[in-house]
Structure 1
Amino acid sequence: MPLRANPRPAMAAALLATALAMTLATVPPPAQAQTRGVIKIGEINSYKAQPAFLEPYKKGMELAIEEINAAGGLLGKRVQLIVRDDNANPGDAVRAAQELVAREKIDVLTGSFLSHIGLALADFAKQNKFFFLAGEPLTDKIVWQSGNRYTYRLRPSTYMQVSMMVPDALALKKKRWALVYPNYEYGQSAAATFKQLLKAAQPDVEFVAEQAPPLGKVDAGSVVQALADARPEALFNVLFGADLSKFVREGNTRGLFRGREVVSLLTGEPEYLDPLKDEAPNGWIVTGYPWYGIQTPEHQAFRTAYQARFSDYPRLGSIVGYSAIRSLAEGLKKAGSVDAEKLVAAFKGLQVPTPFGRITYRPEDNQSTMGGYVGRTRNEGGKGVMVDYRYVDGAKVQPSADEVRKMRPKD
């Protein structure tokens, strides 16, 4: 998934640097458990800070682990998942990674939701030559500007998801746009990418207002009023979770959305759409997960197994968690080992069956080709759903290999 404008950047940087220094001094070499009878997957995430997404995510991981072990495990060994909470803090995430490697003797590392956490763990992987699969953090930097050979990423990046929505935004033929986004890595990069891609295709577009409240601390009334005062024709929203709920409630109350088109990243995910209940908006263009309407055999099999196991419907987090473990399983089978260097080689071009169909981890930037659903919201009987949706293949919204080489440092 998953701060850009940390209110105490110097302190955060110092904490992270200290944690990294401690890690480099104490972490033993990877692939330390070749002879034991279990493969340990270490997972770090912001469970307490982002439960709406990460509780279903954990269930998805657990389902995949149970299926793998029921089928005989991996490389003749049982698979064990060991989870840690990062407290939404990069320093804590790095310390958790250090503990998982040094004490729990994990074989591979996965997880992270918030983008600044993902970047910290990616740097940990680089410094310690330890394999890391980032499941959710959406920042482009994790596979481009800050990319490294030991870090792969599953979920479609910020660039990819914004690219999925730009054709719909262009079709609106609106000139005056306003933007609202959480003021950290993910939100800022989403806004910048939207402006860049929309301006390139529609040169006369104007961005008349931007609101960037701190993550989790939106003053919805003032944000909505500032956007309304700019009199935009359309809005691009990147807020999610509790921030989104406050924004929608205040926007409905003050009439911000009346007569205006809204393009909204992530809002169609049930984690964020369901809590809106009867306040769910009509007609927003969104990315999301219409679990109730996907009829592919792969998804139907996953949905049936998930509902049987948890007596609940899946969320997008469920898909990401499940697919992350399945990706590690395919990589380990191909590598025939838990050795980090062999895993790095195995993931180059690795193909993985997922509930969204087969995906590939691109050799150019270690990014998977998992795609996403784009559609419109509809309030049906006091519950938000996605309608008129389509699946966009992630491979169709990625930059070329030549473009990636210009952005990504050499491994």
Structure 2
Amino acid sequence: MAAFTLSRRAALAAGAGLAAGLRPGLAPAQGAPIKVGELNSYSRMAAFSVPYRNAIQLAVDGINQAGGVMGGRPLEFVFRDDGSTPGDAVRVAEDLLTREGCAFLAGTFLSNVGLAVADFANQRKKLFLATEPLTDALTMGQGNRYTFRLRPSTYMQTRMVVEAARGKTAKRWAIVAPNYEYGQSAAANFKKLIGGTIPGAEIVAEQYPALGRVDAGATVGALAQARPDGIFNVLFGADLTAFVREGNTRGLFERRTVLSLLTGEPEYMIPLGDECPDGWIVTGYPWEQVEAPAHKAFVAAYRARFNDTPRKGSVLGYVTAQVVAALLNKAGTTETEALVDAFPGLRTDTIVGSVLMRGIDQQSTMGTWVGETVLRGRTGTMRNARYADGADFLFPEAEVRAARPGR
């Protein structure tokens, strides 16, 4: 039995290494590990963050089995819950740096938490790779030398769905978004972008329920009363499920164009079950439809190890480890200023293709999938899905310079 267990682990690590684009046959990493402090909303946002953590562990095992980083040292992520509040997250970040001896920080989920850790990193002059928080402020108005972002921003994903709506005739639009930094940023971007895609578009209603406390009946009722032609939705998690259920009951989505950030991600699609709406234009992750060999190797390794299908968080976690390994290998040191200097222009071959860290705003070109929701059997998925390369949706450089003088 022991021999079988070791063989299976080796096979899984080999699969992870192939997905990471690593050369097989190298000696496993040895010596003192290079630690990365990873803090995230593992309790409050478990549907996303737990698959994210799983995939980081899978990728790290493959990287270490194939020789590690910086000439043979093992890579290690030290995981902590950030409490989903700015104050708790800053305390955890300090602990990761001082008590755990981590070289730098990565992670966070909620945008307000990400901004707090970015400010902390700037004060402490330590690198912070914000992997999940989407607020534009991280790389624009509140951007700093030490903070980089991996996932496509709010602006990028809003632009993706808005441009996918080109040719639609909806002129009267309603907005529903959670009342915190991410939702407010998404709404502002939508207002700025929709008129360029649909001339004459106007906003006729806006609803901003508290995060995690949506009154679905009141929200749906207010939107229906405005009689919009289209709805821009930014709700996610349990708020999204409640909103969709109430909207379906009241017929809110019938004969209306709906643009919705994140809804195509399995984390949020699975809880909808057979209540998945039809024809919403969304960003998401149709894992079963992606045919790239590296991605298929990742899916196979992930399913074998965790007995589950990957989520969007899984993709982000795996790419996080790939980018971190590439950064350490390029810098050749864990010294902060050298890492910060090495990050701009870093290009990493990942399971979603090549990802570049743009220097002017320290935003990566990682993209996501755009398509339409559809119910297949009793489970929602995406149709007409395509991978939208983030490089095509970045903020114009002139806007970055205006937001970040000196760039």
Q: Please give the TM-score of this superposition, normalised by the length of structure 2.
A: 0.90
1:273-310 CA-partner distances (Å, limit 9, x unpaired) = 11100101111111100000000122112112211221
Which residue in the other structure is 2:88 paired with?
A: 92
Residue 200 of structure 1 deviates from its aligned partner by 3.5
Is the aligned partner of 1:277 residue 2:273? Answer: yes
C-alpha distance in 2, partners of 1:399/1:187? 18
- Which residue of 32, 37, 44 corresponds with 1:37? 32
Matches of 1:268 and 1:47, distance apart in 2: 21
1:261-282: per-residue Cα shift (whole Å, max 9, x none)?
2111100000001110010111
Map of 2:185 onto structure 1: 189
Distance (Å, rounded) in 1 between the aligned partners of 2:318 and 2:171: 41
On the 8 A contact 1:180/1:236 being kept in 2, the answer is: yes
Matched residues in 2 for 1:182 and 1:216: separation? 8
Shift of 1:258: 1.4
**1:223-246 superposed Cα distances (whole Å, 9 cap, x missing partner):** 000000001111110000000000
Q: Quick one: distance in 1 between partners of 2:253 and 2:224?
A: 9
Q: Distance in 2 between matches of 1:207 and 1:296?
A: 40
* Cα shift at 1:203: 4.2
The verdict on how the C-alpha distance between 1:410 and 1:47 changes in structure 2, with shifts beyond 3 A counting, is farther
Gaps of 5+ in 1: 1-35
Q: Unpaired runs of 5+ in structure 2?
A: 1-30
C-alpha separation in 2, matches of 1:232 and 1:112: 35
Aligned to 1:170, the other structure's residue is in SS state coil
User: What is residue 333 of structure 1 aligned with on the other side?
Assistant: 329
- 1:157 counterpart = 2:183: no
Q: 2-side partners of 1:213 and 1:269: how far apart? A: 21
For 1:23, the equivalent position in structure 2 comes to none
Contact 1:170 1:198 in 2 (8 A): no
1:66 lines up with 2:71 in the alignment: no
Of 341, 345, 350 in structure 1, the residue corresponding to residue 346 of structure 2 is 350
Equivalent position SS for 2:363: coil
- Give the aligned partner of residue 137 of structure 2: 141
Change (3 A) 1:43 1:409: farther
- Work out which of the residue numbers 40, 48, 51 in structure 2 matches 1:53: 48
Aligned with residue 392 of structure 1, among 372, 388, 396: 388
Q: CA deviation at 1:87?
A: 1.2
Deviations 1:125-183 (A, max 9, x none): 11111011110100001011111111111000000001111122232111111110000
* Counterpart Cα distance in 2 of 1:88 and 1:334: 32
| Alpha-carbon distance in structure 2 between the residues aligned to 1:403 and 1:242 | 34
1:73 and 1:410 map into 2 onto residues whose CA distance is 37
Matched, 1:374 2:402: no
Q: Residue 361 of structure 2 aligns with which residue?
A: 365
Which whole-Å deviations, capped at 9, do the CAs of 1:365-400 have from their partners, x for residues lacking one? Answer: 110001111100111111101001111110111123
Runs of 4+ in 1 over 3 A off after TM superposition: 200-203
Letter in 1 for 2:311: R
C-alpha separation in 2, matches of 1:308 and 1:119: 36
Aligned pair partner of 2:312 in 310, 313, 316? 316
Kindly indicate whether the alpha-carbon contact (under 8 Å) linking 1:156 and 1:369 is maintained by their aligned counterparts in 2. yes
Following superposition, the deviation at residue 409 of structure 1 comes to 4.4
Q: Residue 148 of structure 1 contacts residue 409 of structure 1 at CA under 8 Å; is this kept in 2?
A: no
Larger CA deviation: 195-204 vs 367-376: 195-204
Distance between the aligned counterparts of 1:172 and 1:202, measured in 2? 7
In structure 2, the residue matched to 1:19 is none
Give yes or no for the alignment of 1:303 onto 2:315: no
SS in 2 for 1:265: strand
The one-letter code matched in structure 1 to 2:383 is V
CA apart distance, 1:322: 1.0
Counterpart of 2:287 in 1: which secondary structure?
A: coil
Q: Percent identity?
A: 55
Match of 1:177 in 2: 173
- Cα-to-partner distance string for 1:288-343 (whole Å, 9 max, x where unaligned): 00000000122112112211221211111001111111111100000000011111
Following superposition, the deviation at residue 88 of structure 1 comes to: 0.7
Task: Find the partner of 1:243 among 228, 239, 242.
Answer: 239
Identify the residue that residue 164 of structure 2 maps to in structure 1: 168
**Bigger mean CA offset, 252-261 vs 134-143:** 252-261
Provide the residue aligned with 2:6 in structure 1. none
**Would the aligned equivalents of 1:146 and 1:409 in 2 still touch at CA under 8 Å?**
no
Could you tell me how far apart the structure 1 residues matched to 2:384 and 2:197 are?
24
Over the aligned positions, Cα root-mean-square deviation in angstroms equals 1.2
Residue pair 1:74, 1:329 contacting (<8 A) in 2 also: yes
TM-score by length of 1: 0.90
- Aligned partner of 2:49: which letter? L
